[in-house]
């Protein structure tokens, strides 16, 4: 327990001294604030000018805000993993009671907890009521899986911080997937169905059948299994 507490303090110091890490946490909250206070203003303008109601897109807008949570937190945790790998921190943990596996479990657990808390805060700030408590809980579960997925994806495919920046840019492009599935009307809209964020947006926007929740979780677990396996192999090198 003391070792875990020490890790938490180290993480807080690491995040505090790096402005980029702080912005990764604040970005979803700032976006949520824009939604809450700017969207009504824009909607009033579009109603008067074009007779178009932006509020019909509230579910989609909420889905983007929520997808930002694991994307930002995953990038943050990924860079921490990358930095600690460069400093051979993994070798240190290999000879401690925590061991490499315990260290990885800690990292993933912390990222999951923060995702759940930050997702709830984003929904509360947005003040968009399109999900039941059960639906929000199920979707938050997927979001919680995406954070370690993005984190380990970055740490697995990047060998240094420069490559990490390149990988993070590719991951940020994932935010395009919900836009494609929402605005494209042809069969091309399903092209993103093989990727986890697609299911977050689909389930918030369409609130579809329970089977789609099962498919969504299946896709998340498959991707998480693949990247964790790769990361463990790299740690063993």
Q: Do 78 and 147 touch, CB atoms closer than 8 A?
A: no
d(CA 204, CA 202): 6
Give the DSSP letter of residue 158: -
Which pair of structure tokens corresponds to residue 214? 């099962």
Q: Do 111 and 207 touch, CB atoms closer than 8 A?
A: no
Coil vs helix vs strand at 20: helix
Q: Do 207 and 133 touch, CB atoms closer than 8 A?
A: no
User: Lowest-confidence range among 22-26, 92-96, 155-159?
Assistant: 92-96
d(CA 161, CA 147): 19
User: Residue 129: what are its φ and ψ, rounded to 5°?
Assistant: -105, 80
Is the predicted pLDDT of residue 70 greater than 60, yes or no?
yes
Return the number of other C-beta atoms located less than 10 Å from residue 128's C-beta: 21
Determine the pLDDT at residue 158: 80
Which pair of structure tokens corresponds to residue 69? 């949570």
Determine the pLDDT at residue 138: 93
Determine the pLDDT at residue 216: 93
Determine the pLDDT at residue 156: 83
Which pair of structure tokens corresponds to residue 26? 């604040």
Give the domain ranges of the chain.
Answer: 2-235
Averaged pLDDT, 132-138: 91
Return the number of other C-beta atoms located less than 10 Å from residue 179's C-beta: 13
Local confidence band at 13 (pLDDT 50, 70, 90 cut-offs): low
Which pair of structure tokens corresponds to residue 201? 């947006």
Local confidence band at 104 (pLDDT 50, 70, 90 cut-offs): confident
């Amino acid at each position: 327990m003391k070792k875990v507490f020490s890790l938490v303090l180290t993480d807080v110091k690491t995040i505090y001294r790096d402005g980029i890490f702080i912005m990764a946490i604040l970005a979803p909250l700032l976006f949520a604030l824009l939604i809450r206070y700017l969207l009504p203003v824009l909607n009033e303008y579009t109603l008067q000018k074009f007779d178009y109601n932006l509020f019909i897109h509230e579910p989609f807008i909420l889905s983007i805000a929520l997808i930002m949570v694991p994307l930002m937190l995953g990038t943050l945790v990924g860079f921490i993993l990358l930095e600690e790998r460069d400093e051979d921190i993994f070798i240190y943990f290999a000879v401690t009671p925590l061991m490499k596996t315990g260290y990885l479990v800690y990292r993933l657990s912390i990222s999951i907890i923060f995702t759940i808390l930050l997702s709830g805060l984003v929904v509360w700030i947005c003040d968009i009521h399109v999900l039941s408590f059960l639906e929000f809980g199920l979707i938050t579960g997927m979001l919680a899986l995406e954070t370690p997925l993005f984190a380990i994806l970055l740490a697995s495919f990047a060998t240094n911080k420069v490559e990490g920046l390149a990988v993070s840019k590719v991951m940020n492009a994932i935010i395009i997937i919900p836009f494609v599935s929402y605005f494209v009307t042809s069969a091309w809209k399903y092209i993103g169905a093989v990727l986890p964020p697609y299911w977050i947006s689909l389930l918030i926007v369409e609130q579809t059948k329970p089977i789609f929740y099962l498919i969504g979780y299946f896709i998340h677990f498959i991707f998480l299994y693949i990247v964790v396996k790769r990361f463990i192999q790299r740690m063993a090198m």
